[in-house]
Amino acid sequence: MNASKISAYLVVSITLLLPSTIYSQFAPPFLIKSNTGSITNIITADLNNDNLNDLIITKKFSATSLISYYLNQGGLNFGPEVTITTGNSQITNISVGDFDNNSWLDIVSIGDATNSVTLYMNTALSFSTQVLDTFNFFESDIGVTDIDNDNDLDIVAIGGTTFKVYYNNGMASFSSQTIPGPIEDFFDITINDIDADGFNDVITGGSNISVYKNNNGILSYDMVRSNQIPSTFNLLVRLVDIDSDGDKDLFSENNNSSGIRWMQNDGNGNFTNLQIIDPTAINIRSSTFEDFDNDNDLDFIIIKNFNLYLYTNDGFGNFSSPILFQDPSTIISVIESNDMNNDGLADIIWSADLSIQENNTTLSNKENLVDNELIKIYPNPSTEDLFIESPQKGILTVFNTQGQMIFKNLPVNKGVNHIKIKLEPQVYFFHIYLDTDTIIKRVLIK
């Protein structure tokens, strides 16, 4: 195709991305506790309000500790394990939130030790127990969010074939509602706002992937959106912004646990353009998403063949080949990530042999970022005519979602540029190459 004219005039808000300059480097693992093969979950949260993320774990088949924590003492050092509750369980999942607004994070669990949803209310690290509900299940999961936007945290729980929401009155007093939908075995849950209406929606994984739309605080099964997603026994689901366009895409296992994939969100909660990331990643049950290489997009780590593999993102949802960076003698079964030493970089925590690895990325691109208000594009969505306002001259190249170059080396002048190019109706990525930065914007042509 031939480049069209560019004259001067324009305005836009922009998503900024910079090319990755260096992969994240992880320090050798630091052992927190050995012989921890019974750990089934690890989450991070600041339990004692000291501005350091602590570790909270669950175990299976342990008579001495079902849920416990390790306090972060700084410098990636952790105190001894402290038991919150005991019990004998195979499956226990947990989440955290301040349910009674006392400024201490509480814990909620679901599991087969007692077939219950249980609260552990935290006051200065003194935990009291409150059973919310009991029902029969085996596989289960639980999440915390403000479903009805009333400024307190509600609970979303799945177990067996049951899906429930527990609405909080702000003082940790809950009323429950069973959410109807297709009869299926639930396994995993992910929560986020898929259509930018200000209400968090829910997607479940299991025998099928199902979308539950939040309509002003009430969840209901969305058959249309669910049917857009090919699904048969997809036991891992995550809502994350993979292509850096500001909406939440769907990362999941492929059908019958045969690989990992993602589907693009069109901004209105519709998922299309299924892309297989790695067909050899089989039966993935634990993953974690962070910007591990500090290049302003989300990468992820999974446990594949009981080892840790990193997949780095180019900002558009194109991932590197899996990078093996941890191959211990023990079997790794669970992974989590967070900034554990307040250096702005995501560290990783894993088990068996509960260990932490510091993220030692030394090169940060943050100093070179152009203010996102200085580059503007409008209207977006558009028909054909677009305006780009730039603080300096540069070059524009246009790609489609398959990575094919549609236009290249179109000049962008300092100031307002009127861009007239003929594009078929679809999503495009505009790459604007400035002297110090590369800026990428998702543009919808109607």
Domains of the chain in sequence order? 30-357 (2.130.10.10), 376-445 (2.60.40)
pLDDT-based confidence at 4, cuts 50/70/90?
Answer: very low
pTM above 0.85, yes or no: no
User: Whose structure tokens read 């943050």?
Assistant: 366
Q: How far apart are CA 22 and CA 10, in angstroms?
A: 34
Cα 16 to Cα 257, 295, 380, 388, distances in angstroms? 34, 10, 16, 14
| Whole-number pLDDT of residue 406 | 86
Position 300 scores a pLDDT of: 97
Report the mean per-residue pLDDT for the chain: 87
Q: Above 50 in pLDDT, residue 22?
A: no
Instruction: List the Cα angle 380/397/412 in 5-degree steps.
Output: 80
* Cα distances (Å, whole numbers) of residue 187 to 67, 88, 139, 212: 20, 20, 6, 15
Q: Above 80 in pLDDT, residue 108?
A: yes
Q: Residue 187, Cα to own-chain centre: how many angstroms?
A: 17
pLDDT tens, residue by residue, 156-207:
999 989 999 999 999 999 999 999 999 889 999 999 999 999 999 999 999 9
What are the tens digits of pLDDT across the range 351-389? 989 999 999 875 434 333 444 456 788 888 887 778 999
Q: Per mean pLDDT, which range of 36-45, 220-229, 236-245, 393-402 is the poorest? A: 393-402
**Of 62-66, 162-166, 240-244, which gets the smallest average pLDDT?**
62-66
Q: Which residues contact 402 (CB under 8 A, 6 or more apart)?
A: none
User: Is the pLDDT at 12 greater than 80, yes or no?
Assistant: no
pLDDT at 339 over 50: yes
Picking from 58, 56, 47, 44, the residue whose alpha carbon sits closest to that of residue 123 is 47
Listed residue (299, 396, 270, 325) closest to 29, CA to CA: 325
Contact 423/389 with Cβ under 8 angstroms? no
Give the mean pLDDT of 427-444: 78
* pLDDT digit string, tens, across residues 297-322: 999 999 998 899 999 998 899 999 99
Output the pLDDT for position 11: 31
Query: Which tops the pLDDT comparison, 375 or 403?
Result: 375
Split at pLDDT 50, 70, 90, the class of 423 is confident
Sheet of 154-159, strand order: 140-145, 154-159, 162-168, 174-178
**Mean pLDDT along residues 132-156:** 93
